[in-house]
Structures are given as C-alpha cells and as structure tokens.
Amino acid sequence: MATTVGLIVVRGPTETPSAAFRRSRDQHKEKTVSTFLEEHGRTHMCGELREENIGETVTLMGWVSKYRNLGRLVFIDLRDRSGVTQLRFDPHHAEEIHDVATELRSEWCIAIIGEVVSRGANKNPDMPTGSVEILPQSLEVFSKAETPPFVIREETDAHEDLRLRHRYLDLRRGPLQEALLTRSKVNALTRNYLVDNGFAEFETPVLNRSTPEGARDYLVPSRIHPGKFYALPQSPQIFKQLLMVSGFDRYFQIVKCFRDEDLRADRQPEFTQIDMEMSFVTPEDVIEICEGMMAAIFEGVHDIDVEPPFERLSYDEAMVRFGVDNPDLRFGLEISDVSEAVADSEFRVFSGTVARGDVVRGICVEGGVEEFSRKDLDELEEQVKIYGAKGLAWVKIKSDDWSGPVANFIGDDEREAISAKMGASVGDLLLFVAASADVACASLGNLRKDLGNRLGLIDEDEFRFCWITDFPMFEEEDGQLHAMHHPFTSPHPEDLDRLDGDPLKLRAQAYDLVLNGHEIGGGSIRIHRQDVQNRIFELLGLSEQEAQDKFGFLLDALQYGTPPHGGIAFGMDRLLMILTGVDSIRQVIAFPKTTQASDLMAQAPSDVDEEQLEELHLRLIEPKSEENSTS
RNA sequence: GGGGUAGUAGUUCAGAUUGGUUAGAACGCUGGCCUGUCACGCCAGAGGCCGCGGGUUCGAGUCCCGUCUACCCCGCCA
C-alpha cells in the first residue's frame, strides 16, 4: 500500500514554529484538495476496536488526543466521538511515517491506515480498546490545530466562561459529547414512543402574537407593519389547543420556547419542551401516557425500570410535608407543624407567632446533636433568612436535658408535645422557623434540601418520580388573582359548582411531574366550555373586551364544538440534566447562554446597523453604553 | 432590582493580615534526551496591562471608591 503523507510541519533547523506553520500552510495551498477521502473510507470508529479485530487493516479518523514520545517509540491516542485507540509509531515498521508522527500535536485532525495488533503484556485494562493498538502504515493530516486555550480531556478545571467562549472545543470532551448524544437519544425515544401511541408531530409558529400573561416576551419587530411586533412563544399553548379543536386528537412537538426572565442553573432564555396535548382524556389518561414515556426514556438511556405508577401528592400535602411543590423524595427530614404545641409557650417568638395566626414548623434531624456546631447552625440560619425567616430556633436533645438558646423557655409539657409531633428522641437536633405559612414552607423546604445534601442522605443513582396534583387555581398578589398554571386550566370537577365561592379555595385539574426535587413537567385539563372560561376570566379581573382582545381567536374557536382536552409539557433540558447527573442545564445544551443571557462564543446579543433599525422603524432611546473596558 | 463568591502566566491557583528591590508553583507550550508509554520520565527555556478606571501614598497585585465579566441564590419565571 502506498504511503500517503499529508500536511505535515517539518520545521527547518533555524525556522520558528510560526514560520514553519506558514510555510506548510502555503505548501498545502498548492495541494488544493486532499484525495485521501476519495481513495479511503473510514472502516471503524476509534472506540470500537477489540481483540477480535487483531490482524485487520483499518482506517481511522479523528483527533490527536494525547502524544507520548519515548524517543524512538511514539504513542498517540486517537479520539473520535466513540472513544480512543492507541496508535504506535515504531521506526521498525515504517521509518517515514514515524518521522512524520513525531511532528503531530494535540487536536490535529488526522486519518491513519494500519494494522490492528495485540498489545500483549502491555494491555491497558482501563481503556475499552486497551488490549489492541494500531501500527499505522499511512497517515493523512486533514488539519493542524493551534494549541487549544484549555486542555481537552475528560475532566477539566478550566473556568466555564473560557469553555463557553470556545464551546466547539469544550464539546470535544467526553462528558459533553455523551450528554448531547444522550439528548439525541431521548429525542428519538420520545418521538418513537409518542408516535407509537397515536400522537402526531406538528410545528407551530415561532413568530407569534404577544400575550401579556405570564413571562416577559422576546419581541421581534415587524418590517412590514411599522410599529408592530411579533413575540417568540413562551410555549405553544394556544396553538396546541387549537389543534385539538381541529380534531387531531393527539399532538406532540419537541419545541423551543422563549422567556425573557432572569436565568438560573436550571433556566435558560431559550429552552426545549416536549409538548403534548390529547383530546377526550382525564388526568389519569395523561398521567398514564407520561409514565409510559418516562419508562421508555429511562429504559432506553439507562436500562432501568422506573416502575410506574409513580407516587402522588396533593399540592397541599407536598407543601405541609416538604415545604415546596417540587419535593425531593429520596430522603426524609419531613417538616412538622408544632404550632399547637407551642401556642402557649413562654418563648414569645413561638406563642406570638401562633397568636398572629402564623405557624411554627420544624425539622427533626435524627442524631444531629453531634453533627452540627454552633457555626454550622449559624450557617443554617443564614440559609432560612434568604427566604424571609427572621431566624432559626434550635434545640439539641441531649441525654440529660434540652440545650440551646431557647431550650430554657420550653416547658416539660411542651417538650413532650413537640417530641411527639416531630418523632424526636435523644440525640436529635430540632430546627424551628416561626413565620407566615408561605415563609415557613419556603425556608424549611429549602433548608430540608440543603440538609439532605449536607448529610449525604441522597442516593445519586436513584430516580424518584412524584406527581403533584390538585394545585390551587389562583394565587393572590396585592389583592389581584393570578392563574397559577394558566388561564385555560379547568377547575377540579368537584369544584365546578363552587365557582362563586372563595376563588382561592378552588382546585385546578393541574398536575406537575417532579423528579428528584426538580419540576420536569406540568400540565392540566383545559377548559372546553365557553361559560366556564368566561367565569375564570371574570375572576382574573379580565373584562369580556380584554379577554376578546387577548385571546379572541381561542375563544372564537371554543364556540365550534371543542373536545374536552388536556396535556402537559416537559422541560427537556431539566430532564436531561437529571438523566446525565449534571447540575446545570448548560451542560446538556450545545450552545448555552450565560446568566446574563449572552452567548460568549457568538457574542450575542450584538449591536446592529443603523440601516437595520431604520428598516424596522426602530430608534434607540438609551445612549449606547460605552464599549466594555475589558473587551 | 437585591445578596453572595470569584477575576494574578495559555490554564488552574498561591502571593493580599503586615504596601517596599527581580510576582511564584503546577499543568500546558517550545527545544533537547529517552523503545512499552497510557497523568510517560529527565533536563533546559519562553511566557505577566496582577479584569478595567480612578483615588490614597515617596511607593499599590496588596488599602479605598467605582465599574465590567462569570457563577450561585432571592425577587422574577402563568
């Protein structure tokens, strides 16, 4: 076989590296097109060679991952998305190729043709391909590489902003490759499952009309209609309901959604939903389909059985026991309400709080007496203050007595009642928050999650699903009602004839799917009757005219024989974050944005030309901020 | 809008309490040596606007003020 040698920098004795690089680049221009790919096809991926391939001549293509020169013997780890194979360049086998190999550097993109041989006694048991190596007979350099700004290997300690600036390099690393390939797999599993269950995939508009409800919209100015704007969808909610009106029966879409709100580790301005809607269904039907879908995804990705049906909790029960509507059920540390037990307490903070109609709730940390120093407890107090708690009262139950700053104010009868309520015994640490129910829930609910992490109570390999049901229809803010889910959510059937009672007591036919403490999906049965829809708008303080202005086309559609329908949407990014065991959704998105909604690689958002603004009938009112002094 | 953490070689960090001659280490990079490495090893070398701007001072990486960027959180996200 002829030896092909492609673009190789062989540096002259007095030549600088950059001069050598330029010279070889210029030489490469003469050889305008490599004919390597016309003559040779890839026969294997780098991660798949095993002992049974010994003796075969293979063609591999990939990147130089690691270079080890032992003098006359050169080893190179060649990497592609499937893994790594070791190449051995030995002057005994091919002198010319060996000389060329000594010039290779990290991240050059190359192809080799060579024989698979056994490593004999030099096997590497830590590599899947560790019992074989390749003796290359020919080598083609497709392209050389500058030294990357950070080393491309499985584990990196480079800061995230640097990696985001060079995302295409970060994405060469194994963990990110796996995450994105898992993402692709979940896409395929989802489509297969839903299509098999009678769902059809439809696209809905991205350029849409702005609706004032909900999150802040991303707006797109219209060139053709001066002064008017499209909005990017926060979700395809109304369109999927219209598809039900049209009779498509079962719809799904894997779709980008946009919300212009502040970011978090699990929130990006553009994110992907698995969006579904079904006609003629009860919540049970939706839940069953979703459980089947989760089972298919988890079996396909991790080969594990998540064992539906999943546990269910009402919203009220979740809030009382766990303080949040997205409880992590992988550990205990449940919250107890001790308001009654401390109503007459000598400790005024407790009794005063109860007298005001607020609550005293606590968490019993089994065996926590030894675990927590005064400093630790101060830290925990800081944690609850974030959520508005004034303080964190604590008591250590030691064998002889209760200790802690407030212990003296708690009488014997009270102690007995508290212990009974919290299931406390000697050696336990009791933590209390006295506050409004909202603050007590938020502070203790989040404290509980912190404690679960801190005490190592969480089995990272466990996937614990839970449905939260019976959400309130409305929440109140400054005397104004807001829809908790969205204004098209149907009231609970048992509450339908109580629409004239206290609206805050109305329950919705809404359900969230929670996995390991993250809300991964939420949906509801929708209102399909116009009279009910009008009543809900009324409760929300929307006049008929306003409702018509905002949602007129949906209301019109409801007049033409609407099937009962309902659906759900899953947060694909959050689901993947849990599936791949990472702690931010940036790690499962190919090109994510920073917490300031910037793309550090593409440098978006950016300035635009005056002419573009003009065409769009826009004028900037803020003076342009000066260029960043750091950039 | 608010709270917290960080920013010093290409990278990850030390140096900061106590302002003082020439700002260090590791990894990476470059060169040399090395035939079984796989975090290869050994030797040598290059590499710095101490985020940016201002102030205090005889003198600032270090003290003060402002500002920018990244990350985490509260608010916000039907």
Please check whether strand B approaches the CB of A619 to within 7 Å: no
pLDDT tier for residue A26 given thresholds of 50, 70 and 90:
low
Tell me: pLDDT of A206 over 70. Answer: yes
Please check whether strand B approaches the CB of A153 to within 7 Å: no
Return the pLDDT at A94: 80
Residues A120-130, mean pLDDT to the nearest whole number: 95
pLDDT for A539-568, tens place per residue?
A: 988 888 888 888 888 889 999 999 999 999
Q: Are A169 and A152 in contact (CB under 8 A)?
A: yes
- pTM for this model (two decimals): 0.91
Please check whether strand B approaches the CB of A629 to within 7 Å: yes
Q: Is the peptide bond before A493 cis (omega within 30 degrees of 0)?
A: no
Cα–Cα distance between A147 and A140 in angstroms, integer?
Answer: 20
Residues A401-415, mean pLDDT to the nearest whole number: 92
Q: Which of residues 7-26 of A touch strand B (CB under 7 A)?
A: 11, 17
| Protein residue closest to B30, using CA and C1' | A17
Residues A66-84, mean pLDDT to the nearest whole number: 94
pLDDT tier for residue A21 given thresholds of 50, 70 and 90:
low
pLDDT tier for residue A497 given thresholds of 50, 70 and 90:
confident
Residue with tokens 């919540």: A283
Please check whether strand B approaches the CB of A483 to within 7 Å: yes
| Protein residue closest to B13, using CA and C1' | A157
Q: Report CA-CA distances (Å) from A386 to A261, A337, A448, A466.
A: 20, 21, 14, 27
Tell me: pLDDT of A360 over 90. Answer: yes
Please check whether strand B approaches the CB of A596 to within 7 Å: yes
Return the pLDDT at A6: 47
DSSP per-residue string spanning A527-584: P--HHHHHHHHHHTT--HHHHHHHHHHHHHHHTTTPPPEEEEEEEHHHHHHHHTT-S-
pLDDT tier for residue A218 given thresholds of 50, 70 and 90:
very high
Q: Which of residues 155-184 of A touch strand B (CB under 7 A)?
A: 157-162, 164
Return the pLDDT at A629: 32
Return the pLDDT at A541: 86
Closest CA to A359 of A349, A370, A373: A349
Positive or negative CA dihedral for A261, A267, A270, A273? negative
Please check whether strand B approaches the CB of A149 to within 7 Å: yes
Q: How far is the CA of A587 from the C1' of B11 (A)?
A: 20
Return the pLDDT at A246: 97
Return the pLDDT at A237: 95
Please check whether strand B approaches the CB of A519 to within 7 Å: no
Q: Which of residues 39-68 of A touch strand B (CB under 7 A)?
A: 66-68
Tell me: pLDDT of A508 over 60. Answer: yes
**Residue A125 half-sphere exposure toward CB, CA atoms < 13 A:** 1
Q: How far is the CA of A98 from the C1' of B43 (A)?
A: 24
Q: How far is the CA of A261 from the C1' of B77 (A)?
A: 6
Q: How far is the CA of A547 from the C1' of B30 (A)?
A: 71
Please check whether strand B approaches the CB of A71 to within 7 Å: yes
pLDDT tier for residue A11 given thresholds of 50, 70 and 90:
very low
Q: Give the H or E element holding residue A378.
A: helix A374-385
pLDDT for A270-290, tens place per residue?
A: 999 999 999 999 999 999 999
Tell me: pLDDT of A626 over 60. Answer: no
Q: How far is the CA of A390 from the C1' of B6 (A)?
A: 29
Tell me: pLDDT of A18 over 90. Answer: no
Tell me: pLDDT of A61 over 80. Answer: yes
pLDDT tier for residue A597 given thresholds of 50, 70 and 90:
very high
Q: Report CA-CA distances (Å) from A347 to A351, A406, A414, A444.
A: 6, 7, 11, 20
Q: Are A280 and A565 in contact (CB under 8 A)?
A: yes
Residues A576-604, mean pLDDT to the nearest whole number: 96
Query: Closest nucleotide (CA of A485 to C1')?
Result: B78
Please check whether strand B approaches the CB of A214 to within 7 Å: yes
DSSP-derived letter for residue A400 is S
DSSP per-residue string spanning A62-86: EEEEEEEE-SS-EEEEEEETTEEEE
Please check whether strand B approaches the CB of A600 to within 7 Å: yes
Please check whether strand B approaches the CB of A91 to within 7 Å: yes
Tell me: pLDDT of A195 over 70. Answer: yes
Question: What residues form DSSP beta bridges with A466?
Answer: A311, A514
Q: What are phi and psi of A382, to 5 degrees?
A: -60, -40
pLDDT tier for residue A624 given thresholds of 50, 70 and 90:
very low
Return the pLDDT at A429: 96
Query: Closest nucleotide (CA of A122 to C1')?
Result: B36
- Average per-residue pLDDT in chain A? 91
| Bases of chain B within 7 A of a CB of the protein | 1, 7, 10-13, 27-31, 33-41, 51-53, 66-78
Q: Which residues contact A421 (CB under 8 A, 6 or more apart)?
A: A336, A337, A338, A340, A341
The complex's ipTM works out to 0.93
Q: Which of residues 251-290 of A touch strand B (CB under 7 A)?
A: 259, 261-267
Tell me: pLDDT of A5 over 50. Answer: no
Please check whether strand B approaches the CB of A130 to within 7 Å: yes
Q: How far is the CA of A530 from the C1' of B6 (A)?
A: 55
Burial (CB count within 10 angstroms: exposed 0-12, middle 13-18, buried 19+), residue A40: middle
- Min mean pLDDT across A226-235, A333-342, A427-436, A526-535 is at A526-535
Q: Report CA-CA distances (Å) from A82 to A46, A85, A108, A397.
A: 6, 10, 17, 56
The amino acid at residue A109 is: C
Residues A150-169, mean pLDDT to the nearest whole number: 93
Return the pLDDT at A543: 84
Residues A150-164, mean pLDDT to the nearest whole number: 92
Please check whether strand B approaches the CB of A623 to within 7 Å: no
Residues A1-24, mean pLDDT to the nearest whole number: 48
- Min mean pLDDT across A14-23, A140-149, A345-354 is at A14-23
- Min mean pLDDT across A57-71, A179-193, A429-443, A616-630 is at A616-630
Closest CA to A270 of A603, A608, A591: A591
Tell me: pLDDT of A58 over 90. Answer: yes
